[in-house]
Amino acid sequence: MWVTSLVSVLPLAVFAFALPSKDCEHKVKEAVVPPRHWVVSGPAPPDHLIKLRIGLPQPNFDVLEDHLYAVSDPYHERYGAHLTKEEVEELVAPHPDSVSEVNGWLSSHGIQEEDVGRSPAGDWLTIKLPVQLVEKMLDTKYHVWKHTGSGEQIVRTTSYSLPKDIFEHVELIQPTTMFGTFKKLKSSLHSISKIDPQLQSQNLPPITDSATGLTVDASCNTTITITCLQQIYNAVGYTPSAGIGNSVGISGYLEDFANRADLQAFFEDQVPAAAAVNATYNFVSVAGGLDPQDPDEVGVESNLDTQFAFGLTFPIESTYFSTAGRPPFIPDIGTPEDTNEPYTDWLDFVLSHPNPPLSISTSYGDDEQTVPESFAKRACAGFAQLGARGVSLFVSSGDGGVGDGDPDPATQECITNDGTNRTQFIPGFPASCPFVTAVGGTVLFPERAVSFSGAGFSNYFSRPRYQDAAVTGFLKKLPAGTYSGLFNPNGRAIPDVSAQSDFFRVFVNGQPFHVGGTSASSPAFAGFVGLLNDARLKKGLPSLGFLNPLFYSKAASGFNDITVGNNPGCGTEGFNATVGWDAITGLGTPDFGKLVKLVT
């Protein structure tokens, strides 16, 4: 009796200790209304693997943010004193209690330390796990969701929970509630068309802009080349150097691949000095990103980005990042690829790099509302880390005017995803992150705003101080009640700046095409910042890093103010370009000649 009861009690007692009490009571961490157009098409296969990312809180992020603003403020004594990789990592490291609590939770589910990937700062954990285990850990149920328009399928849940004891030790877990997906994540290419050879034979007199006094070739009104950008942005004759620690980067996603033969054709057409030495870029694979060079694998976006960013900055060292991910995603195969958005893979990689490029352009984004707020904030915090290390980040502002990126403003839905179905302007992410420089679009010469220039006001990020005066000045000029309820007047406003965005002469499979979109303006702007960094490094000054505090203050006079044009969307005429900052071209386009004086 005694013996048997001991035997039966002992396993029970062990069981009670092994099953942590923390697993008994879960609390909802995040819940979303299923976004429009997504319907459940069935339960998630229990063995489907999910690459789970667990973000631990960064309790000292506000300290990092203070450092970032100090080193980015041209009037601060610490301007330019960027932080090292190790300093940044220390400031985003989680509290040791969070690490041990989460470790305990993972091991209580049989997860071994060797199965857990950790970012250098320890703030992100990555583990491949079957759906059935994730469902148990997060007290949730995953489903295969299908997009009624595109047919795209993803494995997601609308809510997840955490045991009470670790609730505060985890900031977010994805993929859970993230319905903005890899495939949906759009590049901001607006148009592509074969160039009519007739265009080249025009023999018109040069055009002079009476406002700036600049003269450009007549052809620049219909076709943008490297020479045109140098003329329009007052950089003719500026010669950058190699070998002084400067670098420019382009990030590519979605298996849109840059092609080296096309880069060479472009150089022969527009940058003879680069062609003469067969100049090319460093290829960097992120998370297994490929680098095919076959003609049928050529990506227009990546060709546009590499040709213009690297054409403007030759011979500065150039890097093209190819981040893996092959849409469409098929959820019944036991592979974890494609279920995440790409920024975290790219950010993990670049943040772990000792010397990331100093000026980096990304022409990919999606509607802010498709990205859960917790995720947007965390990815944005990653961009801040790069800024603190002296990297300037550029993101296209989008191609939908104030709308949702649908090329036809009349059919843009502009409806909120939160279940209330309100009509609202739709800003883009990551442009809406206050720690990147969002680049809008202009066209023609003299320049005017391009109608598709993505713009608006974030619903996630409040207005950063650096743009307070500029944006409130713009809002005050709006007729009373303008678009009331359609946008958040206290939100981070985009774009910050702009550049030419249409009729770029890009080589694809050896042939010239006209390519347009804020996809073009972002790499072009990044190129000019590469030149500004050249001027600074030559004077022994540090790289520019996070630019917005400089642009909205000391360097504001280095921009051409664009005052003509508007950006229709959501059934409205959008915002007008105005004197000063506006929600279509931001501060305006760069006057390199002025900017170089202001920053050196």
Ligand X SMILES: *[C@@H]1O[C@H](CO)[C@@H](O)[C@H](O)[C@H]1NC(C)=O
Which candidate in 73, 301, 404, 496 is catalytic? 301
Residue pair 270/227 in contact by the 8 Å Cβ criterion: yes
Residue pair 271/316 in contact by the 8 Å Cβ criterion: no
Helix (H, G, I), strand (E, B) or coil at 343: helix
Active site residue 418: no
Q: Extract the tokens encoding 127.
A: 């583990």
CB of residue 588 to ligand X, shortest distance in Å: 17
Residue pair 181/341 in contact by the 8 Å Cβ criterion: yes
Using CB atoms within 10 A of its CB, is residue 1 exposed (0-12), middle (13-18) or buried (19+)? Answer: exposed
Window contacting ligand X (CB under 6 A); options: 151-159, 414-422, 453-461, 506-514: 414-422
Question: First CA to last CA across the chain, in angstroms?
Answer: 89
CB of residue 204 to ligand X, shortest distance in Å: 7
Active site residue 305: yes
Which candidate in 305, 348, 399, 502 is catalytic? 305
Place of tokens 């490929």: 290
Interface mask toward ligand X for 169-208; x: CB under 6 A: --------------------------------------x-
Rounded CA gap, 184 and 573, in Å? Answer: 26
Q: What angle do CA 306, 311, 316 make, to 5 degrees?
A: 95
296 is in an annotated binding site: no
Per CB under 6 A, which of residues 260..319 are in contact with ligand X? Answer: 277-278
Task: Pick between residue 171 and residue 561 the one whose CB is nearest to ligand X.
Answer: 561
In Å, what is the CA distance from 582 to each residue of 307, 437, 472, 508, 574? 29, 15, 10, 34, 11
Which candidate in 188, 302, 322, 519 is catalytic? 519
Q: Extract the tokens encoding 144.
A: 């295969």
Q: If binding is defined by CB under 6 A, does position 421 make contact with ligand X?
A: yes
Task: Pick between residue 40 and residue 333 the one whose CB is nearest to ligand X.
Answer: 40
Window contacting ligand X (CB under 6 A); options: 24-32, 323-331, 476-484, 499-507: 476-484
Among 116, 444, 556, 564, binds ligand X (CB under 6 A): 444
CB of residue 451 to ligand X, shortest distance in Å: 13
Rounded CA gap, 227 and 222, in Å? Answer: 13
Task: Pick between residue 42 and residue 419 the one whose CB is nearest to ligand X.
Answer: 419
Among 197, 479, 481, 540, binds ligand X (CB under 6 A): 479
Per CB under 6 A, which of residues 202..231 are in contact with ligand X? Answer: 207, 218, 221
- 351 DSSP assignment: H
Window contacting ligand X (CB under 6 A); options: 81-89, 136-144, 294-302, 475-483: 475-483
In Å, what is the CA distance from 374 to each residue of 1, 172, 173, 549? 56, 7, 9, 25
Window contacting ligand X (CB under 6 A); options: 49-57, 67-75, 465-473, 478-486: 478-486
Per CB under 6 A, which of residues 35..54 are in contact with ligand X? Answer: 36
Rounded CA gap, 267 and 307, in Å? Answer: 8
CB of residue 560 to ligand X, shortest distance in Å: 16
Rounded CA gap, 206 and 190, in Å? Answer: 27
Q: 363: closest CA among 491, 487, 515, 225?
A: 515
Task: Pick between residue 421 and residue 511 the one whose CB is nearest to ligand X.
Answer: 421
Window contacting ligand X (CB under 6 A); options: 102-110, 186-194, 418-426, 534-542: 418-426
Q: Extract the tokens encoding 111.
A: 């997860």
Q: How many residues line the site for ligand X (CB under 6 A)?
A: 15
Rounded CA gap, 574 and 577, in Å? Answer: 10
Assign 3-class secondary structure to 117-134: EECCCCCEEEEEEEHHHH
Rounded CA gap, 471 and 457, in Å? Answer: 10
Task: Pick between residue 103 and residue 423 the one whose CB is nearest to ligand X.
Answer: 423
580 is in an annotated binding site: yes
Rounded CA gap, 278 and 272, in Å? Answer: 10
Window contacting ligand X (CB under 6 A); options: 91-99, 304-312, 328-336, 416-424: 416-424
Handedness of CA 508, 513, 515, 520 (dihedral sign): positive
CB of residue 42 to ligand X, shortest distance in Å: 20
Among 103, 108, 423, 482, binds ligand X (CB under 6 A): 482
Task: Pick between residue 343 and residue 445 the one whose CB is nearest to ligand X.
Answer: 445
Q: If binding is defined by CB under 6 A, does position 575 make contact with ligand X?
A: yes
CB of residue 583 to ligand X, shortest distance in Å: 9
CB of residue 221 to ligand X, shortest distance in Å: 4
CB of residue 208 to ligand X, shortest distance in Å: 9
Q: Which residues contact 413 (CB under 8 A, 6 or more apart)?
A: 36, 404, 406
Window contacting ligand X (CB under 6 A); options: 43-51, 110-118, 468-476, 477-485: 477-485
CB of residue 530 to ligand X, shortest distance in Å: 23
Task: Pick between residue 478 and residue 541 the one whose CB is nearest to ligand X.
Answer: 478
Task: Pick between residue 364 and residue 507 the one whose CB is nearest to ligand X.
Answer: 507
348 is in an annotated binding site: no
Task: Pick between residue 101 and residue 502 the one whose CB is nearest to ligand X.
Answer: 502
582 is in an annotated binding site: yes
In Å, what is the CA distance from 305 to each residue of 223, 240, 537? 16, 19, 24
Place of tokens 């060079």: 293
Residue pair 337/429 in contact by the 8 Å Cβ criterion: no
Q: Tell me which H or E stretch contains 388.
A: helix 373-388
Rounded CA gap, 570 and 568, in Å? Answer: 7
Assign 3-class secondary structure to 82-127: CCCHHHHHHHHCCCHHHHHHHHHHHHHCCCCHHHCEECCCCCEEEE
Active site residue 322: no
CB of residue 285 to ligand X, shortest distance in Å: 23
Task: Pick between residue 261 and residue 598 the one whose CB is nearest to ligand X.
Answer: 261
Q: If binding is defined by CB under 6 A, does position 509 make contact with ligand X?
A: no
* Residues annotated within a binding site for Ca(2+): 561-562, 580, 582
Residue list for the binding site: 561-562, 580, 582
Which residues bind to ligand X, rule: CB under 6 A? 36, 207, 218, 221, 277-278, 419-421, 444, 478-479, 482, 575-576
Catalytic site residues? 301, 305, 519
